[in-house]
Amino acid sequence: VIPVILDVDTGVDDALALILAVRHPMLDLRAVTCVSGNTNVDQVVANTQYVLDAAGAGDVPVARGATRPLLVPPHHATHVHGPDGLGGFSRPSDRRVVGMHAIDLLRRELMAAIGTGDAITVVPLAPMTNIALLLRTYPEVAPGIARIVFMGGSAQTGNATAVAEFNVFADPEAAAIAIAAAGELSIPITMYGLDVFNDVRIGRERAHAMRDSGDPAAQLAGALLENQMRVFGLDDATIGDAGAVCAVIDPEGVTTSNYSVRVETSGMHTRGQTVVDRRAWSGDKADDPTVTVGAHIDVALDVDGERHANVWL
Ligand code: BDR
Ligand code: CA
């Protein structure tokens, strides 16, 4: 069993990831931390509570985190996820939110894991504001982190802009800090970006069968997937962020390569781009903080979509 913490901006596909993390027998969901992203952080917390209820989660601690990116104003994605961030499906919940900031909940859980032989896999599925603040404020948590598998970035095309993926575009400074800090602290880190994000898909029939089932989690997941099909006018939908969780459960289903990655924070047309150096011959110094800010990290370039569609629920 793999202990995990999800850092989310719930979000339709974050919801699918939460359901998987609660339900999958190979995962032990230790905590969920929330951050401003697809929508404002209070709505993210509310959506997360509701999704955990629908998934039948026990008393998983949930914490509210950063209310905005480090430097720039919030940039939400309600045009994709709807005004409530959950395609209109959010409902009120009585679920408890812990009275501490997300980075303090992360610190508590990660410090408790140190020395137990059970380090935690941290899965950021949102702008990495909480993660940057955590690693700079409490670097002592590093031994409690088995690895970071984050959804964000791209080695090729973007979605928020021509070259920038939404989570990195929304807080490029945070992504740059998180990647650099992970490198400095020797935390293994995998980028599950747009190169694979759209490739684990569920068809209309399966989504419909889920919505028709007697299981509240499957009903919600089916409804969210069908809603995505409507928004994009397609007959199938990606599980999106949930794919990063599949990559934790079944790493053999993704093909990764180790590359130097830096985040562009100043380009006029390229801000938020993850610059993945795929040159075979480069003597790149991304790991040397005196030269530049970045790290050598594992980049997911290919995924067996069918295999992971069957890992998910
Ligand atoms: C990412 O942006 C968000 O809208 C999704 O939840 C996902 O984390 C995709 O670029
Ligand atoms: Ca997300």
CA of 82 to the centre of ligand 1 (A): 13
Residues with CB under 6 A from ligand 1: 11, 13-14, 38, 77, 80, 125-126, 151, 159, 165-167, 240-241
At CA 242, angle to CA 206 and CA 178, rounded to 5? Answer: 165
Structure ipTM = 0.98
Among protein residues, the one whose CA lies closest to atom 4 of ligand 1 = 38
Q: Which-ligand-closest: CA of 272?
A: 1
Q: Is the Cβ–Cβ distance between 40 and 76 less than 8 Å?
A: yes
**CA 305 to centroid of ligand 1, rounded, Å:** 18
- Measured distance CA(243)–CA(236) in Å, rounded: 15
> For residue 82, is the peptide bond before it cis, meaning its omega torsion is within 30 degrees of 0?
no
Full-model pTM: 0.96
For helices 12-23 and 242-249, the axis angle rounded to 10 degrees is 30
Instruction: Please count the residues of the chain.
Output: 313
The residue nearest atom 2 of ligand 1, judged by CA position, is 166
Other CB atoms within 10 Å distance of the CB of residue 4:
23
pLDDT digits (tens, 9 = 90+) for 98-134: 999 999 999 999 999 999 999 999 999 999 999 999 9
Ligand 1: residue whose CA is nearest its atom 10: 166
How many whole angstroms from 38 Cα to the centroid of ligand 2? 7
DSSP 225-267: HHHHHHHHT-SEEE-TTHHHHHHHH-GGGEEEEEEEEEE-SS-
Give dist(CA 51, CA 10) in Å, integer. 9
Q: What is the pLDDT along the chain (313 residues), one digit of tens a residue?
A: 999 999 999 999 999 999 999 999 999 999 999 999 999 999 999 999 999 999 999 999 999 999 999 999 999 998 888 889 999 999 999 999 999 999 999 999 999 999 999 999 999 999 999 999 999 999 999 999 999 999 999 999 999 999 999 999 999 999 999 999 999 999 999 999 999 999 999 999 999 999 999 999 999 999 999 999 999 999 999 999 999 999 999 999 999 999 999 999 999 999 999 999 998 776 666 666 666 678 889 999 999 999 999 997 7
Q: How far is the CA of 283 from the centre of ligand 1 (A)?
A: 32
Closest ligand, as measured to the CA of 195:
1
**Dist CA 165 CA 15 (whole Å):** 19
CA distance 189 to 295: 9
**Atom number, ligand 1, closest to the C-alpha of residue 165:** 10
Ligand 1: which atom is nearest the Cα of residue 160?
10
Report d(CA 137, CA 103) in Å as an integer.
9
